[in-house]
Amino acid sequence: MRDPDLAPATSDSSPVLAVRDLAVSFRTDHGTVDALREVSFEVAPGEILAIVGESGSGKTVATRAAMRLLPPNAVVSGQIRLAGGADVLEMTDRELRSVRGATASMIFQEPSAALDPVYRVGDQICEGIRIHRAVSRSQARARAVELLEAVGIGEPAAKARAFPHQLSGGQKQRVMIAMALALEPELIIADEPTTALDVTVQAGILSLLRSLRDRAGTATVLITHNMGVVAGLADRVVVMQNGSIVETGPVNQVLLSPRHPYTRQLLQAVPSLARVEDSDQAPVREPRKDLALDVVNLNVEYRSGLGRPPLRAVRDISLRVGVGELVGLVGESGSGKSTLGLSVAGLIRPVSGSIRLLGRDMATIRGRRLDQMRREIGMVFQDPRASLNPRMTIAEGISEPMIIHRVGTKAERTARVIEMMERVQLDPGFRHRYPHELSGGQRQRVSLARALILHPKLLIADEPTSALDVSVQARILELIRDLQEQLRFGCLFISHDLAVVGELAARTLVMRSGQLVEEGPTREVLVHPQHPYTRELVAAVPVPDPVAQRRRRELAEEAGDLSLAGT
């Protein structure tokens, strides 16, 4: 680690990264596609610059170009200087290798994909050091352990000998950061470093990045779509849309008084806990009498191989969803929330407990009758790419449930498909297209149409918006709310995002390690959480307001700090 006293002053000196008139286009089957149009920005030493934008805005392309990591079909023009050196775009491969990792290094979104599973993490850190520096193996090892300690990994010497699969997601991302820091680069490019992580883990990684900047003065380019992350970490913000920069400025100015309409639109689309606090929604304690779903003492287990005890994914959970009620189910990865959804849909057989759908016990009916019951359940999944059969047209996909349950004639089915497509605000003219011709948001609309075509009494929505851009997410959430009012189905809305649930659900359940830890009216759960875990969750959600974020951070630090707890 660089000595803090020797860290460069943030003021003068030349920028660590200077990008001028950078334009990138890709040659594809469909001709040339412009990804970036004449983009210019700079990063000062010790500065954290956030680049925000939705998918396709060019934020990743811009930073990959800075390391010359673009695929071979990219056509690049402009100028990129790292630490006042030569133009990256003109470097020979040898020069380029000496810069990569040493002057600037990268952190990626998915730490489990970026680490090599067959090498020990300590050796992976050493490799980068030994490529660039003439040090002995044992010196490199010592340095690796030192780095692991610096990124807040407990027992660094032991963990250096671990393989990636023996570490948690948060630990893996810390290892990635350690690798990025190994050669004391002047610039770290972090591409969505916390997107794949749970909120409580994310909070720790963000405060690590912040403290690294404070301690070592490493400049950081942070690519993210999450305005809350920006608010908590960045000094300056660049907002990108369709390959161009639409706004730049200090974080407070961009987030609190945005100038460009697109920035405003982005900020408005971000679901926010603050809005839950302000809402005057009447608290709903118990669902009404007519229950769509009544789950009592449900237990679900997964077998985990001979001799080992089964994994108890859902433990003794009871929940109710009234007809026309939207219940939010919140939990982090591995909490069992999706398993609960699947067993309610009758796709995983529970070990014990009962699931009643419209008053009928799902466990006692089988065969044909069970298939009939399935008409009353619709499901929507997270990944818009995987949730539609690529070989069926939109119309075929949406009418599948009617064909399965032999509903209507062909003409009636077509009429209903068109009606349903209009309800989900999709152009019925799309009905002969294939899923790959639609955008992510449009595909989720198709999924919704398919799930609701038979007017089921229960919709199970498993993270239906987490793979979407915020502005698309906002519209899909609005659509779900409208549809629910029109069609009066009960909805179990599963999400890891407290703010999303806060916007939508009347009642909220919080799950952790297969158990319900808290349950109540959404506003009470999110504003006055009772259980310590819920409190931790709520505290970890980044809010898109730099001032509030700083206040919360200070409070958390006073209260003993969850950041370096080792996740």
Partner 1 sequence: MVAAATARVGSTPVKEATPWRRFRRRMIRNRFGMGALLVLFVLVLAGVLSPIVAPHPPGDANFATVFQRPGTVGYVLGTDNLGRDILSRVLYGIRASLEVGVLAVLIAFVVGVPAGLLAGAFRTADVIASRGTDLLLAFPFLIMAIGVAAILGPSLMIAAVAIGIGAVPSILRVMRVETARIISLDYVTAARAQGAGTLRILSHYVLPNAASSLIVRATVIMPGAILGESTLSFLGLGIQPPMPSLGGMLADAQQYAEQAPWMAVVPGAAIVLICLSFNTLGDALRDALDVQVVSRD
Instruction: Provide the binding-site residues for partner 1, judged by CB under 8 A.
Output: 29-30, 55, 342, 345-347, 371-372, 374-375, 377-392, 400-401, 404-405, 422, 425-427, 430, 433-442, 445, 447, 450-451, 454, 460, 472, 475
Report, in Å, the least distance between residue 439 CB and partner 1.
Answer: 5
Report, in Å, the least distance between residue 503 CB and partner 1.
Answer: 19
Report, in Å, the least distance between residue 443 CB and partner 1.
Answer: 9
Q: Which is nearer to partner 1, 119 or 430 (CB)?
A: 430
Q: Cα(316)–Cα(197) distance, rounded to whole angstroms?
A: 27
Report, in Å, the least distance between residue 272 CB and partner 1.
Answer: 22
Q: Cα(320)–Cα(355) distance, rounded to whole angstroms?
A: 10
Q: Cα(121)–Cα(168) distance, rounded to whole angstroms?
A: 13
Q: Cα(99)–Cα(77) distance, rounded to whole angstroms?
A: 20
Q: Which is nearer to partner 1, 289 or 436 (CB)?
A: 436
SS (H, E, C) 35-75: EEEEEEEEECCCCEEEEECCCCCCHHHHHHHHCCCCCCCEE
Q: Which is nearer to partner 1, 64 or 512 (CB)?
A: 64
Tell the residue number behind the tokens 């709520």, with chain if given. Answer: 538
Report, in Å, the least distance between residue 434 CB and partner 1.
Answer: 6
Q: Which is nearer to partner 1, 38 or 371 (CB)?
A: 371
Rounded to 5°, angle at Cα 467 from 463 and 468: 110
Report, in Å, the least distance between residue 388 CB and partner 1.
Answer: 5
Q: Cα(459)–Cα(390) distance, rounded to whole angstroms?
A: 23
Q: Which is nearer to partner 1, 310 or 390 (CB)?
A: 390
Q: Which is nearer to partner 1, 33 or 547 (CB)?
A: 33
Report, in Å, the least distance between residue 567 CB and partner 1.
Answer: 29
CB atoms < 10 A from the CB of 313, how many? 22
Report, in Å, the least distance between residue 225 CB and partner 1.
Answer: 14
Q: Cα(416)–Cα(402) distance, rounded to whole angstroms?
A: 10
Q: Cα(509)–Cα(527) distance, rounded to whole angstroms?
A: 14
Report, in Å, the least distance between residue 450 CB and partner 1.
Answer: 7
Judge contact between 462 and 386, C-beta under 8 A.
no
Look at strands 244-250 and 291-302 and give their pairing.
unpaired
- For residue 119, give the DSSP letter: S
Element (H, E) at 344: helix 337-344
Q: What single letter denotes the amino acid at residue 24?
A: V
Q: Which is nearer to partner 1, 402 or 500 (CB)?
A: 402
Residue 259 tokens, joined = 């100038």
Q: Which is nearer to partner 1, 39 or 452 (CB)?
A: 452
SS (H, E, C) 499-521: HHHHHHCCEEEEEECCEEEEEEE
- For residue 305, give the DSSP letter: S
Residue 512 tokens, joined = 């952790």
Q: Which is nearer to partner 1, 412 or 427 (CB)?
A: 427
Q: Which is nearer to partner 1, 260 or 375 (CB)?
A: 375
Q: What single letter denotes the amino acid at residue 45?
A: P
Q: Which is nearer to partner 1, 62 or 453 (CB)?
A: 453
Q: Give the CA diameter of the chain.
A: 78
Report, in Å, the least distance between residue 265 CB and partner 1.
Answer: 13
Report, in Å, the least distance between residue 555 CB and partner 1.
Answer: 39
Q: Cα(523)–Cα(281) distance, rounded to whole angstroms?
A: 8
Q: Which residues contact 30 (CB under 8 A, 6 or more apart)?
A: none
